[in-house]
Amino acid sequence: MAVSSPQVVVVVPTYNERENLTVLADLLADLPLPNLHLLVVDDNSPDGTGEVADKLAAESPDTVGVLHRTAKDGLWRAYLAGMTRALDEGADVVIQMDADLSHPASAIPAM
């Protein structure tokens, strides 16, 4: 019986991270983890971050998801909403990262 890889979801709250989001998505996609998913939690960013997230999800629907929130409601609440959705959708492991590229994506496989 083959053992499947755990579903790992990286929850990334965003607010005005249009420039960084694609870079982060590419960094995550390059990791050697077969069942890695990105969940973007956007708080109605006025710079179009939500639209960038939607485009990423349309291009990679099996690995990128988007949770749109209607207002900027705080980082903690964004993480909570994202983690709740990830667990509801069957995540085995949930990782939190900031969209500003301050957390190294390269550390995820070791986690």
pLDDT at 3: 58
Asked if residue 88 lies in contact with residue 11, where contact means CB atoms within 8 angstroms, the answer is no
3-class secondary-structure state, position 67: strand
pLDDT at 58: 98
3-class secondary-structure state, position 60: coil
Amino acid at 92: D
Residues of the chain predicted below pLDDT 70: 1-3
d(CA 1, CA 22): 37
For the entire predicted model, the pTM comes to 0.93
Q: What is the CATH number of the domain that holds 46?
A: 3.90.550.10
Asked if residue 95 lies in contact with residue 11, where contact means CB atoms within 8 angstroms, the answer is yes
Residue range(s) defining the domain that contains residue 16: 8-71+78-90
d(CA 24, CA 5): 22
* Count of domains forming the chain: 1
